[in-house]
Chain A
């Protein structure tokens, strides 16, 4: 989906679309506000389209270091510690809302 072509603001559907991609709930006020604010931001990043395209395939890496393929060393963290910040739990399990109807 392309957003906001030749308009002053995004349509309601466009805002709902990007909010859905981002998993962010919206109030009516939010929709009105983001129609204008997100349009401004997308217009700005659209300036990249004025730059000529590159022909060759490109390998993207954030750093030039030779990085190992494994994930390196990770600290062991106790289960109790991990569960410390869980909002809802039962015993050693993380509780989530029901996903399947009875």
Chain B
């Protein structure tokens, strides 16, 4: 079988335009790899994808649409009309989406081909994908290590080269941390950049959908087509710009900040050293890099816990066993239906968060915890904004360590929050933030660098990310599955 799927998007597009291949050939390549290599990356496959690919043969391949006929994987908390949308939970195991999410409208408008819905942590709550009701996806770099999460299946599907593109969602690092663990490029765009209509809500003031790809250019290109105002999501904004426009441009008068907190003792020394190598490389290229202190930066985890759990308890109140999803079969009364549906329908991680979230929002506690957290969050955002008034971007490790052994944090309710200790700031401030691979540790596991920018300044992030990617020129095929 040919290996078009491993070529760059531009090359695949050219081959489609010239008629050397058809969309169905690309789909078959993807399905072949998925079937031969069980990485448990998908929860549901799109059984109509071949039919949809053949349907595209009736159309002329548009020369200006890079995404025509390209296979894509979608995280299973994003609605695709007619397909199951389980959020990797038993409570939604039989739930069929009855409309397309805003991003899916755009994916379909560009004639991308949805291969399937990817595995994840239950309701995106977790950082290893181990809370999935459908089992943990396999990290293709090392099967004994966690794939990261919550967008673990999306990251694995791109890292294993099962698909060239995927969509994930990020509430507190859920795109960037698995991207880092899998050696791929993952962007959490600015809050409001991409419509959340049809994304199953976890923490509405933090959630954002974003692209996960093999390289920086393809990431920027994918964001180009999934962003924009959607009348069905009040928080989305109109943006009409090309995110690739600064890629390849010189880093003239560029200033980058590294918060001292990002290189604290809790960060693994191999990860820290790799980030310091990047600092050195940038300085050699006349980029000014300063170590800085940022007010409240160490509070992000606590703010995240309060805000995310509070909002989750409210958002997940809708799962009551009455209107959709799993329903306890033989309840004594209505109250019993609620209690038992939620007792048996949700997993442990989700139940813990809903309970603590309900406590946070009950009576006076709402003021003591949630309101106060929102006030400190506002202060934290201002502290970061102050840095952005002096520096173009902030950089640091995407995760404090590389992918670690499976089951290591199973019984610790705080474990997964600590995994995202370095990446939650972007969600707190609504800032865009990318994770790109910058090398490997001594065990050949990928290390990720996060690049954080001011609100709606994704283009500058892509500029630096692409510069670093080019300088390093890493071989990232280590996660690719066998043919």
**Which A residues fall within an 8 A CB radius of B?**
1, 3, 18-19, 21-27, 30, 34, 37-38, 40-42, 44-45, 47-49, 51, 53-54, 58, 60, 62-65, 67-68, 71-75, 77, 81-82, 84-88, 94, 96-99
With an 8 A cutoff between CB atoms, is B407 at the interface?
A: no
**Which B residues fall within an 8 A CB radius of A?**
94-96, 98-99, 191-192, 204-206, 231-235, 237, 299, 302-303, 305-306, 309, 313, 317, 320-327, 331, 333-334, 336-340, 342-344, 346, 351-352, 354-360, 362, 368-369, 371-376, 378, 412-414, 417, 430, 455
From known contacts A58-B371, A85-B323, infer whether A18 and B358 are also in contact, taking CB-CB under 8 Å: yes
From known contacts A24-B342, A72-B231, infer whether A62 and B355 are also in contact, taking CB-CB under 8 Å: no
- B98–A82 CB distance below 8 A: yes
Residues of chain B lying within 8 A (CB to CB) of residue A99: 333-334
* Residue in A45, A67, A84, A85 whose CB lies within 8 Å of B369: A45
* Residue in B99, B359, B376 whose CB lies within 8 Å of A18: B359
Residues of chain A lying within 8 A (CB to CB) of residue B339: 23-25
Complex Cα distance A62/B205, Å? 5
Find the B residue at minimum CB distance from A72: B231
Chain B nearest CB from A35 CB (Å) reads 12
* Residue in A24, A75, A87 whose CB lies within 8 Å of B355: A24
Chain B nearest CB from A90 CB (Å) reads 13
Find the A residue at minimum CB distance from B455: A64
Residues of chain B lying within 8 A (CB to CB) of residue A38: 352, 355-356, 413
List 28 A-B residue pairs with CB atoms under 8 Å apart, sorted by A's residue number.
A3-B359, A22-B355, A23-B339, A25-B343, A34-B355, A40-B413, A41-B305, A41-B356, A42-B356, A45-B302, A45-B360, A48-B299, A48-B302, A48-B303, A51-B372, A54-B375, A58-B371, A58-B374, A64-B455, A72-B232, A75-B99, A81-B98, A87-B322, A87-B324, A87-B327, A94-B323, A97-B334, A98-B333
Residues of chain A lying within 8 A (CB to CB) of residue B233: 72
- A67–B235 CB distance below 8 A: yes
Chain B nearest CB from A49 CB (Å) reads 7
Residues of chain A lying within 8 A (CB to CB) of residue B321: 87
- B355–A40 CB distance below 8 A: no
Residues of chain B lying within 8 A (CB to CB) of residue A40: 412-414
- Nearest 6 pairs of A and B residues by beta carbon: A62-B205, A25-B343, A25-B339, A85-B324, A87-B327, A21-B358
Chain A nearest CB from B55 CB (Å) reads 23
* Residue in A23, A44, A51, A74 whose CB lies within 8 Å of B338: A23
Chain A nearest CB from B322 CB (Å) reads 6
- B359–A21 CB distance below 8 A: yes
- A62–B359 CB distance below 8 A: no
Chain B nearest CB from A65 CB (Å) reads 5
Complex Cα distance A37/B348, Å? 10
Chain A nearest CB from B79 CB (Å) reads 11
Complex Cα distance A62/B122, Å? 24
Complex Cα distance A99/B331, Å? 12
Residues of chain A lying within 8 A (CB to CB) of residue B309: 45
Chain A nearest CB from B270 CB (Å) reads 28
Interface residues of chain A: helix, strand, loop or mixed (majority): loop
- B414–A75 CB distance below 8 A: no
Residues of chain B lying within 8 A (CB to CB) of residue A53: 372
Residues of chain A lying within 8 A (CB to CB) of residue B299: 48, 51
Complex Cα distance A68/B322, Å? 32
Find the A residue at minimum CB distance from B362: A21
Residues of chain A lying within 8 A (CB to CB) of residue B342: 22-25
- B337–A97 CB distance below 8 A: yes
Find the B residue at minimum CB distance from A58: B375
- B360–A65 CB distance below 8 A: no
Complex Cα distance A41/B369, Å? 13
Find the B residue at minimum CB distance from A96: B322
Q: Which of A37, A40, A86 has the most CB of B within 10 A?
A: A37
Complex Cα distance A40/B305, Å? 12
Find the A residue at minimum CB distance from B311: A62
Chain B nearest CB from A12 CB (Å) reads 14
Q: Which of A53, A82, A87 has the most CB of B within 10 A?
A: A87
- B359–A64 CB distance below 8 A: no
Complex Cα distance A34/B339, Å? 16
- B99–A60 CB distance below 8 A: no
Complex Cα distance A19/B354, Å? 9
Chain A nearest CB from B337 CB (Å) reads 6
- A41–B414 CB distance below 8 A: yes
- A85–B98 CB distance below 8 A: yes
Find the B residue at minimum CB distance from A21: B358
